[in-house]
Amino acid sequence: MERNRFPLDSLDYARSPYCGTGSRPARLTFRRRFLNVAQGLRLRERLVQVSLSTRGPVPRDGTSFIIKAGRLAVLFAVAFLAAAVFAPALAAAPPLRDAPPAWYDRDREDISKPAERAPNLHWDMYETTVLRPVSRFFKPERNLRRLGGEPAPPAANVNALDEVPNGSWFENRIGLFPMTPEAAARGGCEGGGPSREDVWTVIAAKTMGVTPGFNIRDARGRVYVIKFDPPGARGMTVAAGVIAARIFRAAGYHVPEDGAVVFRREDLRVGGEAKIRLPDGTKRPMTEADLDAVLDRVDPLADGSWPALASRFLEGEPLGPFDYRGVRRDDPNDRIPHEHRRELRGLRLFAAWLNHFDTKQENTLDMYVEDGGRRYVRHHLIDFASSLGAGGRGPEPAFGFEYGFDLPETMARLVTLGFYESPWRTLRREPGLPEIGYFENALFDPERWHPLTPNSAFTNMTDRDGYWAAKIISAFTDEHLEAIVAEGRYPSPEEAAYMVRTLAGRRDRIARNWFDKIPPVDFFAFDGGAFSFRDLGVERGIYPAGARYRVRLAAVDADRRPGAESPWMTTGRLRFPLDRIPFASALDRADAARYPFLSFTVRVDRGDGWSRPVTAYAARKSGRVVALKR
């Protein structure tokens, strides 16, 4: 990757309000916020209109004053409320600096071990399904924001280029770096799964739940969880878990090493320390007969072997799941509320792409790890069996179309006496493909996709968060998907081809939806003599070639105030030398010492009008792209 195209080799932390613990822009006083909002709402003109407008004759006594005062009080209350709501959007952008943007978050500092979290599953279900949605519904500032098109303030952990820095939550991979299909297919499984050098030693087992399972230790001392498909769905959840884990890992999330395995009974032995968990929650020493009973509940292949998913134990000490709202209070590195983290907001689109509907906090896991002499908390996503049309109890058509408890859908069916039919009721599984569940593209709408339970971070996703996720999703080529799906080991090529085709279709639908909202002009570069950018919509086959671009160059100071601007120029090119007459004349009029930065603004027209602008800022001295505004 070129030096000026989003360098990741610097440990410098940009002084921005978005990342790390650098300085923040000065807070606006409430008076200034009020005046800004008042100006935006044209409050002065509205106050004059109110003072002059009456309904019928106005009494010439004290009541006229009371009427006017009441109206003024209402307007002032609205303005004050709007000032509190829109303050983040009104805050001035941080000053431009000729320094590398922050690509590493300061959330991996050495800390003491936090306490383990063990949330109550029933309370968590009630809180996420009832209490939090009701709380969001009755927040007036949230409803006012929706009038502006966004449900929440901008994400709080992006850098000056509107990207997520590397840290304990996320590592940039395919979104910013080239990745071969082979690397995507490995999915971090450098060891190739459990060793076959000797038999696997069973060290623990469970009998409760829809499907049994057990833990094994291989000849190299590595511990794996062995998971099976539910009855009647052989191969479905194993393939889904393997494929989804590799996609999440390639995208940048921290996940376990999951792989598909096949073994026979003679490949297992019960260890002397093995315990089995009984349905009543108690444990006792495990015997070979217990292992046979576990395997009797699993559908074998025709040759008597068993297919399974082997998930390697994560490195470090487990601390329990993370919540999608708030912070872990005993982790000093966890400073940003989780519902305001872009990688958790944008996770909604990755989950929609894969129909990974079971995104409750119990399918996450924090680990206290040691890295380079520092000990900190690393945050993981786990357990992807409920994706790609599969489910822990078998495939269900409603998953992804509505919440587990969806009041609007329920009331629609109740009020219409059943005449209202949810779209998922028309779904049918693809005939002749037994290991494919309810996973399709014809009815898929990324805007209307729902997880099983409401998610605080998902509900805060803004257009910019969605664009960030769609940009990464669109980076997966068909070749990437073919290599990843091959790791799921579908028994027939028709099943693998269907999965690749459906993933590609849903990928393109997501990309088109969010690229229509925010133009996918990205990866700006400035070499001192020319600006250039890439049109990801054309590169990735979302739009046909032939787009027109309107561009304008300006010399600006650190506060982004222009000293000179070029006229708009319309072209079909993606590279713009500064010695061209419109640009050169603008630069000649601006002193480089007073205006040390250049802004380059682009709009796109694909036949349906000009898009929103995207502006890149570069330092004239170093040629470094220092900021991006969408």
Q: What is the pLDDT, as a whole number, of residue 501?
A: 98
Structure tokens at 356: 């990974």
| pLDDT (mean) for 287-301 | 92
Name, in order, each residue with C-beta under 8 angstroms of 34's C-beta and a sequence gap of 6 or more. 79, 80, 83
Q: Which residue has the tokens 């709408």?
A: 445
Q: What is the largest CA-CA distance in the chain?
A: 100
418 compared with 111, residue with greater pLDDT: 111
The span from the CA of 260 to the CA of 187, in Å, is: 12
pTM of the model: 0.85
Tens-place pLDDT, residues 43-90: 333 333 333 333 344 444 555 545 455 555 554 555 445 544 445 444
| Selection from 145, 26, 17 nearest residue 83 by Cα | 145
Find out whether 431 and 494 touch, Cβ atoms under 8 Å: no
DSSP letters along 446-468, please?
TTT---SS--TTGGG--HHHHHH
The span from the CA of 484 to the CA of 188, in Å, is: 12
| pLDDT (mean) for 448-462 | 95
Find out whether 593 and 544 touch, Cβ atoms under 8 Å: no
Strand partners, 277: 206, 283
Sign of CA dihedral 240, 245, 248, 253: positive
Give the number of residues written for the chain. 630
Backbone angles phi, psi at 269, to 5 degrees: -145, 150
Which DSSP helix (H) or strand (E) runs through 70?
helix 62-90
| pLDDT (mean) for 297-303 | 91
Q: How many C-beta neighbours within 10 Å does residue 471 have?
A: 22
The span from the CA of 85 to the CA of 569, in Å, is: 37
The span from the CA of 566 to the CA of 30, in Å, is: 36
Q: Looking at the predicted structure, is the pLDDT value of residue 511 above 90?
A: yes
Residue 296 CA: distances (Å) to CA of 207, 261, 264, 286, 302: 11, 18, 13, 16, 14
Measured in whole angstroms, the distance separating CA 540 from the mean position of its chain's CA atoms is 20
| Selection from 502, 465, 453, 479 nearest residue 349 by Cα | 465
Structure tokens at 531: 């600006």
The span from the CA of 461 to the CA of 435, in Å, is: 33
Q: Looking at the predicted structure, is the pLDDT value of residue 497 above 50?
A: yes
Q: What is the pLDDT, as a whole number, of residue 19?
A: 45
Which DSSP helix (H) or strand (E) runs through 89?
helix 62-90
36 compared with 245, residue with greater pLDDT: 245
The span from the CA of 63 to the CA of 52, in Å, is: 15
The span from the CA of 397 to the CA of 357, in Å, is: 12
Q: What is the pLDDT, as a whole number, of residue 43?
A: 37
Q: What is the pLDDT, as a whole number, of residue 67?
A: 47
Residue 173 CA: distances (Å) to CA of 249, 340, 382, 475, 545: 8, 21, 19, 10, 27
Measured in whole angstroms, the distance separating CA 596 from the mean position of its chain's CA atoms is 35
| Selection from 264, 247, 207, 299 nearest residue 472 by Cα | 247
pLDDT bin (cut points 50, 70, 90) of residue 331 is very high
Q: What is the pLDDT, as a whole number, of residue 250?
A: 97
507 compared with 143, residue with greater pLDDT: 507
